[in-house]
């Protein structure tokens, strides 16, 4: 997947998780990455300390990954206590989405706790002028067509989920110009992020806009089922920025809620330091039974 395979599961399960900068954890090997430019790896763990240990083992250069990055230093020993940033940007909707009221309340409570701990919070609701999902869909649909269009017309194809079949067929019809425009959109969204980062190098958003779905459905924003319940993650795969999530509370139904912390290009360590320090302030203790 290339839109939310680390941050959303982490957020829904009360875990620490980070979408590293693309190339931080190599995607080498004989088989090309499944979602092309969007593909990324990253760990999920009980807390950021465990996440750091996993990253120290997994990150680094690989000769068969043309985008892999230098492994740099031992991150787990670099992230210590008292890494609370001086200031952060809080963007409740990023300027284009609607967030479930109960989720927003828990995220705002977490932001208030950071303020009380001495972090300056800058409210900036408008970051992106357009929802990135349409451009993201070009990458996703083309990747699905590349991987599975050979099954069209076979018995196997009929066993594929109907929504996934729709994406495959959409990808088959995409042209090169559409793909090039989607790459241009990555530049556009990164430029808008960087304009905001000039004021502060960390942006916080809710991890999800909505509450989790039931089986074979979408999530819920204020009781309404909508595919837009995960609006805040896909664009970050397009811009390739590091972004992590940490839990901040639980809904009335006892399901976890998380915030997303976005950093500048290749500033993974800055995001991890913020994640660890925020965990210490917010002090989320809930864990699934027997986990």
pLDDT band at residue 289 using 50, 70 and 90 as cut-offs: low
Query: What tokens appear for 23 in the block?
Result: 């190339």
- pLDDT exceeds cutoff 80 at 102: yes
Query: What tokens appear for 62 in the block?
Result: 């690989």
Any domain includes 288: no
Any domain includes 196: yes
List pLDDT tens digits, range 198-242: 999 999 999 999 999 988 889 999 999 999 999 999 999 999 999
Give the model's pLDDT for residue 256: 97
List pLDDT tens digits, range 34-86: 999 999 999 999 999 999 999 999 999 999 999 999 877 899 998 987 789 99
**pTM of the full predicted structure?**
0.96
Any domain includes 159: no
Q: Answer with the residue of higher pLDDT: 70 or 111.
A: 111
Name the residue range of residue 237's domain: 7-130+177-282
Any domain includes 290: no
CA distances from 26 to 32, 68, 86 (A): 11, 5, 32
Q: How is residue 75 annotated by DSSP?
A: H
CA angle 40, 44, 50 (to 5 degrees): 120
pLDDT band at residue 1 using 50, 70 and 90 as cut-offs: low
Give the model's pLDDT for residue 215: 83
Say how far apart CA 199 and CA 201 lie, in whole Å.
7
Q: In what order do the strands lie in the sheet with 202-206?
A: 44-45, 16-19, 243-250, 256-263, 202-206, 87-90, 120-123
- Our separate counts of H helices and E strands in the chain read 10, 9
- Mean pLDDT for the stretch of residues 243-257: 97
Number of domains, the chain: 1
- pLDDT exceeds cutoff 50 at 291: no
Give the model's pLDDT for residue 3: 66
Any domain includes 189: yes
Give the model's pLDDT for residue 288: 59
Give the model's pLDDT for residue 194: 98
Any domain includes 147: no
Q: What is the dihedral of CA 172, 173, 174, 176, to 10 degrees?
A: 90
List pLDDT tens digits, range 162-180: 999 999 999 999 999 999 9
Any domain includes 233: yes
Give the model's pLDDT for residue 216: 80
At 140 the three-state DSSP class reads: helix
- pLDDT exceeds cutoff 80 at 7: yes
Cα–chain center distance at 1: 11
Any domain includes 157: no
**Could you tell me the CATH number of the domain that includes residue 55?**
3.90.1300.10
At 4 the three-state DSSP class reads: coil
- Mean pLDDT for the stretch of residues 189-193: 98
């Amino acid at each position: 997947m290339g839109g939310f395979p680390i941050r959303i599961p982490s957020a829904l399960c009360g875990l620490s998780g980070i979408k590293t900068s693309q190339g931080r954890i190599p995607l080498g090997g004989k088989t090309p990455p499944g979602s092309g430019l969007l593909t990324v790896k990253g760990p999920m763990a009980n807390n950021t300390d465990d996440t750091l240990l996993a990253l120290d083992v997994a990150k680094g250069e690989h000769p068969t990954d043309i985008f892999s990055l230098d492994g740099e230093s031992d991150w787990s020993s670099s992230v210590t206590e008292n890494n609370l940033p001086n200031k952060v940007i809080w963007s409740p909707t990023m300027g284009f989405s609607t967030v479930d009221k109960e989720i927003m309340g828990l995220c705002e409570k977490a932001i208030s706790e950071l303020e009380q701990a001495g972090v300056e919070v800058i409210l900036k609701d408008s970051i992106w002028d357009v929802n990135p999902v349409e451009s993201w869909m070009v990458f996703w649909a083309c990747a699905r067509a590349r991987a599975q269009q050979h099954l069209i017309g076979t018995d196997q194809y009929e066993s594929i989920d109907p929504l996934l079949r729709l994406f495959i067929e959409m990808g088959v019809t995409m042209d090169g110009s559409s793909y090039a425009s989607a790459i241009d959109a990555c530049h556009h969204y990164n430029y808008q992020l960087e304009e905001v980062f000039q004021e502060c190098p960390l942006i916080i958003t809710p991890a999800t806009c909505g509450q989790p779905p039931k089986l074979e459905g979408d999530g819920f924003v204020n009781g309404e089922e909508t595919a837009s319940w995960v609006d805040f993650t896909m664009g970050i795969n397009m811009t390739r920025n590091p972004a992590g999530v940490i839990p901040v509370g639980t809904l009335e139904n006892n399901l976890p809620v998380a915030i997303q912390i976005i950093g500048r290009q290749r500033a993974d360590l800055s995001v991890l330091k913020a994640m660890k320090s925020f965990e210490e302030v917010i002090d989320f203790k809930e864990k699934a039974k027997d986990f």
